[in-house]
Chains A and B, each alone.
Chain A
Amino acid sequence: MDLAQRRPPRLLLKWLIPLAAALLSAGVFFSVPLFTAPYVIILMTSILMYIILSVSWTVFCAPSQYFSLGIAAFFGVGIYTYTLLKDALPWAPFPLLLVAAGIGSSILAFFVGLTTLRIKGMYFAIFTFGLSELLRHFVMWWEVNMTGTVGRWIAIVEDIVVYRYMAALAVITVLAAYLLRRSRYGLALRTIGDAESASEHVGVNASAVKIAVFAASCFFTGAAGALIATRWTYIDADFAFDPIRNMFTIMMSLFGGMDILVGPILGAVAIGTISDVVLARLPQVSRLLLGLLLVAVVLFIPQGLAGLFTNLKWSHVKDRVLAKLRGRHDG
């Protein structure tokens, strides 16, 4: 889709269509519980969470080519922000706490970005590499030495409620990612990934764009963390900052395909469906296989499944058909 050549539809349509799609999907998600068994709800909540993780990771990392290896850090910060605020303000409404959790993550992301995204190169990747483990150790140390407790107890929220919020958050995340990609900042981010120096030379304030998008993307990660944590009564640093989430997120995004929006969603559904079950039964073997799969994907299909599909010949046919439908003559 050539952003510079797109003949803009009427302003209303430009916003109406994505919003309508979002509301429709939300409607579908919300009505599902009426027809299915409880365990499906739990499964779907997990998958929706994985979608949020992979989309929020991809929306920044794919176009900019700055790979974050520590999404678990922002996930965990969301969880702890939620629990700390809930303890401090027990009367606060649930949605507000979720938003606060997201903001907590964004704040961490902002500072990480301020330190590492203003420098070109691998610094961002290696800093985020150890970040989740650092936070895990630090929170544990703090809990042992300062607060005297290990782990926190939180009030459970009903599965169905968690599911609905997760669905809403997932829809919002995907919508936000879509709108960003289409916007001038999405384009700017791609130029940063393509040729950062040239990007700055045409007036893009690369540091500001990177930091802003990264921080914004982590909002959704943090909120998702806070949300999933409400399914358990007890959380601790090991759970909140579990490094498997780093691996998972990268795996889902890469496997699904980083170049188009549908990719990470595909990856999240594919990997997320089998993950919880397989990981629980055969933790080491499945991690080993995941590692092999990641290396294999990087070696053989770096463009991911979605990338494979868009390269097939029939996509040309599809383009022509769509162009005819839109009445364009240059298709």
Chain B
Amino acid sequence: MAERVPILNGDHVTRMFGGLAAVSDVSFCLFEGEILGLIGPNGAGKTTLFNLISGAMPVTKGSFLFKGKEITRMSISHRCHLGIARTFQTGKLFPSMTVSENVFIAALFGKADGKSDAQARRETLELLHFVGLSEKARQPARGLTLAAQRRLEIARALATHPTVLLLDEVLAGLTPIEVAQGVDLIRSIRARGVSILMVEHIMKAVMGLSDRIVVLHHGEKIAEGSPNEISTSQTVLDVYFGEAL
């Protein structure tokens, strides 16, 4: 059995807002080639954790290591160049540009390697084909269907050649067929060699896709394990169902 290589480590990460801890002392490890699911009730701190990892927000305490390198103080674009990409829960596509331009810009700037326009165009076409958006290439990014928007977000993130992809509820609001297609897409992303950390509420998808799962609640990590372990864990069930009482 090949030794598992840690790609992304979070070490006692804490983020405070005034007196409230949105993320509290969370430590985790994402291994190469793995799909790690991140679940928890609303407000558990999942998107905040993503913001901390991508650099959109500074940590209050703790650190992140990417391929063994300390990235806690790095800017967002620097982390992107190193190989961390993400999608957004509230889709942040570039509305004044076309579908292909959205991907093109990411292909151009995703790595600080001075790529030529022609090369970036080739990569754009390939990625649009990969996510199934080739026909919509020249459409404005505004006015896309929800499923198409999600695909575009993914294509754009992939254009930066990431090693780690953070998917933030990328299946939310989709029809069952679209969810199934999304699941397939995520599997094929992993097959391309990208390690994935995904936040998702659709349990069936998360359980089916993830190699391991981390559960957050009120900003704290309360459980970690295989999908099987998590789905039978009393702690987790209490959190999801016990709180209602």
Contacts and interface: CB of A to CB of B under 8 A. Distances in A.
Q: Do A and B interact?
A: yes
B184 to A, nearest CB: 24
B198 interface: no
A317 interface: no
Contacts of B157: 201-202
B105 A191 contact: yes
A4 B120 CA distance: 8
Given A184-B108, A195-B93, A204-B77, A8 B138 contact: no
Interface in A1-60: 2-5, 8
B211 interface: no
Nearest to A194: B94
Interface string B168-199: 00000000000000000000000000000000
B101 interface: yes
A205 B95 CA distance: 20
B160 interface: yes
Contacts, number: 96
A200 B80 CA distance: 8
Contacts of A200: 75-77, 80
Interface in B78-136: 80-81, 85-86, 88, 92-98, 100-101, 103-106, 108-112, 117-118, 120-121, 124
A203 B104 contact: no
B76 to A, nearest CB: 4
B104 A3 contact: yes
Contacts of B100: 2, 4-5
A293 interface: no
Contacts of A187: 97, 101, 104-105, 108
B138 A2 contact: yes
A184 B97 CA distance: 13
A53 B143 CA distance: 35
B156 interface: yes
A203 B109 contact: yes
Interface string A304-330: 000000000000000000000000001
B159 interface: yes
A189 to B, nearest CB: 10
Nearest to B92: A198
B112 A4 contact: no
Contact of B97 (A191, A206, A330): A191
B86 A201 contact: yes
B101 A4 contact: yes
Contacts of A330: 138
B72 interface: no
A101 to B, nearest CB: 33
Interface in B142-158: 156-157
A141 B156 CA distance: 53
B104 A202 contact: no
Contact of A194 (B81, B86, B95, B117): B95
Contacts of A8: 117-118
A306 to B, nearest CB: 15
Given A5-B137, A184-B108, A187-B101, A206 B88 contact: no
A295 to B, nearest CB: 24
A188 interface: yes
A136 interface: no
A329 to B, nearest CB: 13
A331 B109 CA distance: 28
Contacts of B120: 4
A280 B217 CA distance: 68
B56 interface: yes
B238 to A, nearest CB: 35
Contact of A193 (B56, B96, B103): B96
Contacts of B93: 195, 198
21 contacts: A2-B100, A2-B101, A4-B98, A4-B100, A4-B104, A4-B121, A4-B124, A5-B100, A8-B118, A190-B94, A190-B96, A191-B97, A194-B97, A195-B92, A198-B92, A200-B75, A201-B54, A201-B157, A203-B81, A205-B77, A330-B138
Given A187-B105, A194-B97, A203-B80, 12 more contacts: A2-B138, A4-B104, A5-B138, A184-B109, A188-B105, A190-B96, A191-B97, A199-B105, A202-B85, A202-B159, A203-B110, A205-B75
Interface of B: 54, 56, 75-77, 80-81, 85-86, 88, 92-98, 100-101, 103-106, 108-112, 117-118, 120-121, 124, 137-138, 156-157, 159-160
